[in-house]
Amino acid sequence: MRRRWITALVALGLLLAGCSSDHDGSGGRITLRFQSLAWQEESVAANKELVEEWNATHPAVQVAYVQGSWDSVHDQLLTSFEGGEAPDVIHDASDDLADFAYGGSLADLRELLPARLMSDIPQRSWRTATFGDGIYGVPFLQEPRVLIANATWLKESGVRIPTPERPWTWDEFRRIAGQLSGKGKYGVAWPLKEPVSATLNLSLSTGGQMFHRGADGKVTVRFDAADALVPRTVHDEVNTDGSASGSTLGMGGSDTLPGFFGGKYAMVPLGFSYRQQIAQQAPKGFEWQVLPAPAGADGLAQGVSPQTLSVAADSPHKKEAAEFIDFLLRPKNMVRLALGDWMLPTGTEALKDPALHTAMDDWATGTALAAHLRSAPAQSVRGYPEWKDKVATPAFQEYYSGAIGLAELRKRLVEDGNLVLARYQR
């Protein structure tokens, strides 16, 4: 009996010891791990094809495609960095990089990237992945927030259709949303489940900054007239004009689509990539179009947090990882990735590609907005995630629903917000 138990325990020990590891036992051949967050069918296919093409032409440096998930990437990377097990090439978004960059988990890419790639991507895009003095990611895909509109409804109403050359002003947008409303229908549906990034990014068009860096390098929150214009427009459309549905304030973008297709809302402000879902799900005969977001004192300026490719600081093959990134982001390849994700490439050469200037699915409208995209205001602010979760999100939610007024919103964002930020800047 005892012997049987000992045998069982030894077998269990052997089972546990029989684990695998990542060591590449292929004499001299390097294997890079590329963790991609591509998730749409076309996007996954494009990424995998590019990896296969690289592997076919680089026998000495092979790339293993690892599927990651947007839903959990931060926690997963955090643990991987702590344990020294991070992938060599990391796909993420620029607004998720700050802590990893400042924490020394990501490699500074300035010395690793070729001049071609550095000059192809505009400075305004590089700023989104610049933390301190270093560049910690290559911004490669981005999307403006646009108005997806019911084309038939707009045409029948006779309102002026905005273009990137002649967009609506915020006042005009509010007036037209009112014009389109009535009989239980709304001119606009704001899906503001995540109200902070949407508000801050759209507020760039009115000159809103919210975060101001002083001469000492410390950041403080201010809420000036320029910061208030966009939130006040949304608040008034919902609570004063009745031109925006209050029930969509807590929804994500996808949740508003049934109402949009069902003729309840004339317009929905959404990310440019939502066109993929709309093209797939719209009822037969439903005509939709992409309109630029309203413009303010700073024109069509808008904050974005592009998707990025980074290299882990602990990677023993940083040079090869950077070469693979350079391959992925050659203009033709960047276009393939952009088309797969229904987004815009950051690269100047890629943006010239005819495929991005077609009227089909309104690619041309989005491409015309690319030059107006800037680094999201909160990108490099340490403590922003806590400020967003604990202060700004509840404050904006209450303001948009009409529970508090503008003065209370300002008080919370500034007073409570600065207390939070101060803790990160001692």
Partner 1 sequence: MKTPKRARAGQYVALLAYLVFLAFPFLWLISTAFKPPRELASLHPTWIPRNPTLANFRQAFDEQPLLHAALNSLLAALGAALIAVLIATPMAYVMARRRTLLARAATGWVVVSQAFPFVLVIIPLFLVLKHLRLINSVPGLIMVYVVWALPFALWMLVGYVRAVPVELEEAAAVDGAGRARTLVSVTAPLLAPGIVATALFAFITAWNEFFFALVLLKTPQKQTLPVVLTHFIGAEGVADLGPLAAAAFLATLPSLVVFAVIQRRITGGMLTGAVKS
Site residues, partner 1 (CB under 8 A) = 1, 12, 15-16, 18-22, 33, 37, 39-41, 44, 64-67, 69-72, 75-76, 79-80, 82-85, 87, 93, 193-194, 252-254, 257-259, 261-262, 264, 271, 274, 277, 280-284, 307
Which residue's CB is nearer to partner 1, number 86 or number 176?
A: 86
Could you tell me the strand order of the sheet in which 89-93 lies? 61-67, 30-36, 89-93, 307-311, 138-142, 344-345
Please answer whether residues 134 and 103 qualify as being in contact, where contact means their C-beta atoms are separated by less than 8 angstroms. no
Q: Least distance to partner 1 from the beta carbon of 98, Å?
A: 17
Which residue's CB is nearer to partner 1, number 229 or number 307?
A: 307
Distance CA 115, CA 119 (A): 6
Which residue's CB is nearer to partner 1, number 3 or number 332?
A: 3
Q: Facing residues of 149 across strands?
A: 267, 289
Which residue's CB is nearer to partner 1, number 104 or number 114?
A: 104
**How many residues are recorded in the chain?**
426
Which residue's CB is nearer to partner 1, number 118 or number 339?
A: 339
Q: Least distance to partner 1 from the beta carbon of 93, Å?
A: 7
Which residue's CB is nearer to partner 1, number 123 or number 280?
A: 280
Please answer whether residues 320 and 32 qualify as being in contact, where contact means their C-beta atoms are separated by less than 8 angstroms. yes
Take residue 189 and report the two structure tokens written for it.
């549906």
* Ordered DSSP codes for 343-397: -EE--HHHHT-GGGS-SGGGHHHHHHHGGGEEE-TTTT-TTHHHIIIIIIHHHHH
Distance CA 170, CA 297 (A): 10
Q: Least distance to partner 1 from the beta carbon of 76, Å?
A: 5
Q: Least distance to partner 1 from the beta carbon of 283, Å?
A: 6
Please answer whether residues 369 and 300 qualify as being in contact, where contact means their C-beta atoms are separated by less than 8 angstroms. yes
Query: Closest by alpha carbon to 416, among 377, 386, 382, 373?
Result: 386
Q: Least distance to partner 1 from the beta carbon of 155, Å?
A: 21
Q: Least distance to partner 1 from the beta carbon of 164, Å?
A: 24
Query: Closest by alpha carbon to 180, among 160, 146, 153?
Result: 153
Which residue's CB is nearer to partner 1, number 35 or number 162?
A: 35
Distance CA 49, CA 339 (A): 14
Q: Facing residues of 333 across strands?
A: none
Give the DSSP H/E element, type plus range, for residue 307: strand 307-311
Distance CA 33, CA 55 (A): 12
Q: Least distance to partner 1 from the beta carbon of 111, Å?
A: 28
Q: Least distance to partner 1 from the beta carbon of 270, Å?
A: 10
Which residue's CB is nearer to partner 1, number 82 or number 224?
A: 82
Distance CA 38, CA 40 (A): 6
Please answer whether residues 192 and 396 qualify as being in contact, where contact means their C-beta atoms are separated by less than 8 angstroms. yes
Q: Least distance to partner 1 from the beta carbon of 258, Å?
A: 4
Which residue's CB is nearer to partner 1, number 240 or number 281?
A: 281
